[in-house]
Amino acid sequence: MTSGNIMPINNELKMPVFHIDDQPVEFHPGEKILSAALRNGEKIPHYCYHPGMSIVATCRMCVVDIVDLGNGRPAPKLQTACSVDAAEGMKIETMNQKVEEGRKLVNEFLLINHPLDCPICDQSGECTLQDYSFEYGSGKSEMDYSKRVYGWRDIGTFVSLERNRCIQCSRCDRFTREITGTNEFGMFNRGHELTVDTYTDRPMTNKFQGNMADICPVGAITEKEFRFKRRVWKLKKIRSICTGCSTGCNITIEHDRNEVFRLKPHENQNVNKWWMCDEGRLTYRIMNERKTRINRPLGRVSQNLQHISWEDAYRAIAERISEMEPTGNEVIALTDTHASNEELFLLKKLLKDGFLSDNVFCPLPKWEQIESEFFINTLITTDKTPNRAGALALKIKGDAENAEVKKIIDGEPKVVIILGNPFETEHEIQQKIKPAQLVVHIGSYHNCWSEIADVVLPGQFYSEKKVTFTNKLQQVQSTDIAVQSLRRSRPEWQIIVELAHALGHKFNFSNVNQVFAAMAEETKAFSGLSFDQIGDQGMKLKQTFKDTGMKLVQAPA
């Protein structure tokens, strides 16, 4: 079985083929040479081409030698691979002397006015100009005039511009024209003075500026948040997903010495294409948050929370519960939709197997999805949690007004398990839970629940564990361990498993893959999926459903 969404299975019998340096390369009819080459893992240097935007063919770096146009005749001169259609039988050389000279002259031209301030440039280490100059450049310059110099301009709330480093590739210009449709940024002047700036004379305020830093091949546009914080070659990158909202943009978490420095979008054509929003980028800050972290298990001893060991915590919970012998209706669990699929599944299982209770609730407020002719706008939703769809798929109870949960707590539950930070603005719920005989809070951060809990168990943030979430498109996607969590914390799924053991129930799960497998086996929503298949592109639920809490709204003009 192939996973459905990595590449569409090609129904055509045979794709047309051309040759790059004698290697056969398949292409879609109408596809450009460069696009087909890159898709097939061939290397052709390029600056201005970006697969998500229109082709301008202006940097001239992607030149190739078409020795046979497919009709037996060669092209008269070097051609830009980004702008020429691939053709059956075409033969292309990318490494001969002509091509090397073609690249060399372009790179020389790009460098004559470049400040070459790599030592203080944040792009250094991930700069296309630097890489290509090293690989294809000549290493010396014949330019002996003073360089073009521009002053500093504040161009954005999220990004910074150093115009002297700009190579005029116009990717940023095309971005606000074609991707966000905001049109506030573009090219000014002409000839040798061509440069970029905002049209409004004011900093940009669009919500996606960080992408301009990503697509800028050099250090001209950089993220204000990241500037001067870390040399990029020190960063280790782990693929994961953003949990800033229910879109679940694919990202890399980039960290050094257990500190996260930035989040970058990771291409996923089914979810976020190449992009993510600035708000999502800023969620890296939470990953480094230490002040409000719960760093070890806590137990309430005569009013005060005190450090206890994991064993004592579990033992205390088990003892209290066996004293109380609660009935199913007297045990409830509250969770937020930041919890992963596995955690929601296990929580539900714990209540069912342990207490014959179905009382797992989460908040399910109504939310808005933006509709827009510009794809990028549709990334943002008002649901700022990553796993509402997972909760719905697993049939966690809840409603927009929290009516159900309010009704059940009127029955004065004895045992309440809280996962994360649900209902944080609902004072009424908190007040009614407070008198319960046993309140267990599982979570990473202190909040209103840890204040009233009898036992507090330290969990892990998603950047510290491997779990899955189901996004608004009902696509199941996985996170990965980027940074080490606190020494005494444990992933929530493991905590629930251990809690079940303490209560005398055999939960045979020693890793998250096994939990996922059980979930796929026991629930209809996840049947047919396996953790390994999710891969780095995610998998859609086999049976999708309609989320009635969603309202489509037009993007503000």
Partner 1 sequence: MAEETLVLFKNIRNPKYSKSLEGYKKAGGYQTLKKVFGMKPNEVVQTVKDSGVRGRGGAGFPTGLKWSFMPNGTGKPSYLIANADESEPGTCKDRELMLKDPHLFLEGMLIGCYAVGCHHGYIYIRGEFFPAIKSLNTAVEELYADGLLGPDPLGSGFHLDLTIHSGAGAYICGEESALLDSLEGKRGQPRVKPPFPAISGFNGCPTSVNNVETLACMPFILGDGGVEAFKSFGPENNSGTHLVSLSGHVNKPGVYELRMDVNMKDIIYGIGGGIRNGKKLKGVIPGGSSSSVMTADEVDVLYNFDELANIDTMLGSAAMMVFDEDTDVVQLLHRITRFYAHESCGQCTPCREGTHWSRNILRDFLNGNGSDEKLRRLDRVGGNMLGTTLCALGDAAALPIQSFVKKFPDDFRKYYANK
Please tell me the distance from the alpha carbon of residue 76 to that of residue 61, in angstroms, as a whole number. 18
Asked if residues 103 and 96 have their Cβ atoms less than 8 Å apart, the reply is no
Residue from the set 25, 48, 276, 483 that interacts with ligand FES by CB under 6 A: 48
| 78 sits near ligand SF4 (criterion: CB under 6 A) | no
Please tell me the distance from the alpha carbon of residue 312 to that of residue 306, in angstroms, as a whole number. 12
Please tell me the distance from the alpha carbon of residue 114 to that of residue 500, in angstroms, as a whole number. 63
Residue with tokens 């919890």: 339
Burial class for 112, CB neighbours closer than 10 Å (0-12, 13-18, 19+): middle
Q: Which two structure tokens, joined as six digits, stand for 275?
A: 């992009």
Partner from ligand FES, partner 1, ligand SF4, none binding residue 190, C-beta < 5-8 Å depending on class: partner 1
| 38 sits near ligand SF4 (criterion: CB under 6 A) | no
The pattern of x and - marking residues 217 through 256 that bind ligand SF4 according to CB under 6 A reads: xx-xx--------------------x-xx-xxx-------
Q: Which two structure tokens, joined as six digits, stand for 484?
A: 């080490």
Please tell me the distance from the alpha carbon of residue 222 to that of residue 253, in angstroms, as a whole number. 17
Q: Which residues contact 79 (CB under 8 A, 6 or more apart)?
A: 33, 63, 64, 65, 66
Residue with tokens 């504040």: 154
Residues that contact ligand SF4, how many (by CB under 6 A): 26
Q: How far is the CB of 142 from ligand SF4 (least distance, A)?
A: 21
Q: How far is the CB of 8 from ligand FES (least distance, A)?
A: 26
Please tell me the distance from the alpha carbon of residue 250 to that of residue 263, in angstroms, as a whole number. 10
Q: How far is the CB of 58 from ligand FES (least distance, A)?
A: 6
Partner from ligand FES, partner 1, ligand SF4, none binding residue 113, C-beta < 5-8 Å depending on class: partner 1
CA triple 232-263-446, angle to 5 deg: 120
Partner from partner 1, ligand SF4, ligand FES, none binding residue 221, C-beta < 5-8 Å depending on class: ligand SF4
In the bound state with ligand SF4, the residue whose beta carbon lies nearer, of 221 and 419, is 221
SS3 of 335, please?
strand
| Residue whose Cβ sits closest to ligand SF4 | 280
| 132 sits near ligand FES (criterion: CB under 6 A) | no
Closest CA to 188 of 155, 218, 213: 155
In the bound state with partner 1, the residue whose beta carbon lies nearer, of 113 and 246, is 113
SS3 of 354, please?
helix
| 59 sits near ligand FES (criterion: CB under 6 A) | yes
Partner from partner 1, ligand SF4, ligand FES, none binding residue 276, C-beta < 5-8 Å depending on class: ligand SF4
| 171 sits near ligand SF4 (criterion: CB under 6 A) | yes
Q: How far out from the chain centre does Cα 233 lie?
A: 20
- Which residues would be at the binding site for partner 1 (CB under 8 A)? 55-61, 63, 77-78, 83, 85, 102, 105-106, 108-110, 112-113, 142-143, 145, 167-168, 170, 186-187, 189-194
| 264 sits near ligand SF4 (criterion: CB under 6 A) | no
| 438 sits near ligand FES (criterion: CB under 6 A) | no
Read off the DSSP letter of residue 192: G
Q: How far is the CB of 156 from partner 1 (least distance, A)?
A: 21
- Which residue type is seen at 12? E
| 396 sits near ligand FES (criterion: CB under 6 A) | no
In the bound state with partner 1, the residue whose beta carbon lies nearer, of 187 and 481, is 187
Asked if residues 551 and 369 have their Cβ atoms less than 8 Å apart, the reply is yes
Q: Which residues bind to ligand FES, rule: CB under 6 A?
A: 46-49, 57-62, 80, 82
Q: Which residues bind ligand SF4 (CB under 6 A)?
A: 166-172, 196, 216-218, 220-221, 242, 244-245, 247-249, 272, 276-277, 279-280, 379-380
